[in-house]
A and B are shown apart, each in its own frame.
Chain A
Amino acid sequence: MALSTIVSQKKQIKRKAPRGFLKRVFKRQKPQLRLEKSGDLLVHLNCLLFVHRLAEESRTNACESKCRVINKEHVLAAAKVTSKEEQRLEVKEYILESYYDAFFWAVTDHKDFFTHQFGIIKYWL
């Protein structure tokens, strides 16, 4: 895999995904499940984004506490926030979704939906 270009970084980062490691971890955790071919790449992407968020958050924490070095506490706080955010998002989405669904089905029926459409068409015609 291609190495990342050195963009104001002293060290190079390997962009390779540890596919074997990911597959092994998944197998260890859920031996009854199977992972598809490119699934582990998406898992890697997910990890990348998670780590990215975590790093940003901890960096923010460190800067707020005016430290030059990222400490354990910064990381810990960042982790908490990130996981909470995820949960909140999930919950929010879920609530919104269910709300929309309920609203939609309350307002319209299947059979009504089509007649309504036809009505509009008829109107325009």
Chain B
Amino acid sequence: MADHNPDGDPTPRTLLRRVLDTADPRTPRRPRSARSGAQRALLERASSRRLSGQTKTIAKGRSRGARSIGRSTHVQARGHLEEQTPRTLLKNILLTAPESSILMPESVVKPVPAPQVVQPSRRESSRGSLELQLPELEPSTTLAPGLLAPGRRKQKLRLSMFQQGVDQGLPLSREPQGNADASSLTSSLNLTFATPLQPQSVQRPGLARRPPARRAVDVGAFLRDLRDTSLAPPNIVLEDTQPFSQPTVGSPVYHSLPCTPHTGAEDAEQAAGRRTQSSGPGLQNNSPGKPAQFLAGEAEEVNAFALGFLSTSSAVSGEDEVEPLPDGVEEAEKKMEEEGVSVSEMEATGAQGPSRAEEPKGHTQVTEAEGSQGTAEAEGPGASSGDEDASSKAASPESASSTPESLQARQHHQFPEPAPPPGAAVLSSEPAEPLLVRHPPRPRTTGPRPRQDPHKAGLSHYVKLFSFFAKMPMERKALEMVEKCLDKYFQHLCDDLEVFAAHAGRKTVKPEDLELLMRRQGLVTDQVSLHVLVERHLPLEYRQLLIPCAYSGNSVFPAQ
């Protein structure tokens, strides 16, 4: 309900309850009056702790009774209220507590004369005003504001809307407060004054927490990317369409260093720290070839990149690759303006060239570049935040992060490490490996990984047990062999269990089937029963689950 909102004080519900309690001096449930006073006190303290649901129900349930009680207490507090109905009481409450009232004090005030149906809504709306009301209702009003204020702070987070309403209601409520207590008013006013400080921060708690600085950076990167992309949009489309073409092709290329000099310009922002590290070694590889390129960097990405490619390609020793590289480079140059996807292409091409002689360089390079871009972009998100990352991202997939890393590093000052020579490729692969480590989740295909890893992880548990039981050092190949044996064993196990369950005419495998299986394996004999084995080999917690045991109360667990 709109009216239902928290006051800084004890929950509105509690307040409302108190209001209700205090608001019904006339209802027949007089005997509760004694309780009402205690209730009120309790409400004040416990309100904040009570659960909303409880209070609501209780409030509603007790509304009737509370009314009477409230009235009685209220009467005590304010003598002139005796003849008033609950409605009038609530109305007074609302009037006197403009700030705390929930959003629409006027609306609440108006329906005062309305039928009782309105009262419950009013009650809720007056929850906020409850705080204010309390002071007026109870003689211990002096305490109320103090209590209310801290209580409000507790709920300041929820006050945003409420505060607005309160502020709005303040001027409105003043008018109808003909009979409102000045003290209550002031107390409420004080409360309201106190609250405005908080709501401002409260009003947008989510936004307050966001780091604005990040936005600025992203914007800058975004603009840069826009610039790049605007130049060659079509290429992006092309590149994006082949998200996976690269993975297969690019994987071998992964050694080749990324050559995204031009992305470097974009990626200047990106944290090149680690990249620089990776690129450092790469740089060294390529340094002879492209010191100038490194310097050129952003502005002449294309040229430098092409040069870099050429130089690296030539330096590398893959003569064949040089040719395809230039082709790829040219293509990349055209697309240079793009988000650096082309850069990734170039990188891909460059990387591919040196690393992969088998593949049709020109074609694969292009495809790889595109694919890498696609993949890079797909994977990129993790790597970098800006568009700059896109290019680097594209590179990363193929060169397994070595490219993107180097790209990013390059971007700063150096030029991308164009496909380094095969020797350099090897070297680059080394830096790539640590980069790879950094970006482990850059699989060519996401499918197999999740399927295999958990399976291997589960099997590794038994492999460790194997090595534990063997009590002797083991070779790695032996462990792999154990894994295969376990695989086969599990298959046999499942087949056997299926047969047993089918034999029993069941579709669920029960422990009896397991026992039969172990019997057939010779583990369970007439001398050695299943329970003995369970006790021997399983920990206590599992034993308790498997072996029925009698407990107190003539109960057996697990039940049979």
A-B complex is real? yes
Q: Which residues of A contact B (CB under 8 A)?
A: 1-2, 9, 11, 13-18, 21-22, 24-26, 29-30, 32-39, 41-52, 54-56, 58-59, 62, 68-72, 74-76, 79, 85-86, 89-90, 93
**With A26-B494, A39-B509 given, is the CB distance from A70 to B470 under 8 Å?**
yes
A34 and B507 within 8 A (CB): yes
A36 and B485 within 8 A (CB): no
Residue contacts A-B, CB under 8 angstroms, 7 given: A1-B539, A13-B468, A25-B490, A48-B538, A70-B473, A72-B475, A93-B522
- B458, B465, B520, B540: the one within 8 Å of A21 (CB): B458
B510 and A36 within 8 A (CB): yes
Provide the residues of chain B in CB contact with A47, threshold 8 Å.
462, 486, 489-490
Provide the residues of chain B in CB contact with A42, threshold 8 Å.
511, 514-515, 518, 530, 534, 546
A70 to B477, CA, bound (A): 10
A41 and B542 within 8 A (CB): yes
Interface size, chain B (Cβ < 8 Å)? 60
Interface presence of B222 (CB below 8 A): no
- B489, B511, B523, B533: the one within 8 Å of A38 (CB): B511
Interface presence of B210 (CB below 8 A): no
B538 and A45 within 8 A (CB): yes
Provide the residues of chain B in CB contact with A72, threshold 8 Å.
475, 477-478, 480-481
**With A75-B481, A93-B520 given, is the CB distance from A45 to B468 under 8 Å?**
no
Interface presence of B41 (CB below 8 A): no
A71 and B539 within 8 A (CB): no
Q: Which residues of B contact A (CB under 8 A)?
A: 454-455, 457-458, 461-462, 464-475, 477-478, 480-482, 485-486, 489-491, 493-494, 497-498, 501, 507-511, 513-515, 517-523, 530, 533-534, 537-542, 545-546, 558
B481 and A43 within 8 A (CB): no
Q: How many A-B residue pairs have CB under 8 A?
A: 169
Determine the residue in chain A with the shortest Cβ distance to B522: A89
Q: In the complex, how many angstroms separate the beta carbon of B505 from the nearest chain A beta carbon?
A: 13
B474 and A70 within 8 A (CB): yes
Determine the residue in chain B with the shortest Cβ distance to A67: B472
A59 to B333, CA, bound (A): 63
Q: In the complex, how many angstroms separate the beta carbon of B403 from the nearest chain A beta carbon?
A: 36
Q: In the complex, how many angstroms separate the beta carbon of B265 from the nearest chain A beta carbon?
A: 48
Provide the residues of chain A in CB contact with B473, threshold 8 Å.
68-70
Q: In the complex, how many angstroms separate the beta carbon of A15 from the nearest chain B beta carbon?
A: 5
B478 and A25 within 8 A (CB): no
| Other A-B pairs, 13, CB within 8 Å; known A2-B541, A47-B489, A72-B478 | A21-B457, A21-B461, A26-B494, A39-B514, A43-B493, A45-B534, A47-B486, A55-B469, A71-B477, A75-B478, A76-B481, A89-B521, A89-B522
Provide the residues of chain A in CB contact with B470, threshold 8 Å.
55-56, 58-59, 70
**With A2-B540, A46-B518, A74-B478 given, is the CB distance from A32 to B457 under 8 Å?**
no
Provide the residues of chain A in CB contact with B498, threshold 8 Å.
30, 33
Q: In the complex, how many angstroms separate the beta carbon of A14 from the nearest chain B beta carbon?
A: 8
Provide the residues of chain B in CB contact with A38, threshold 8 Å.
511, 545-546, 558
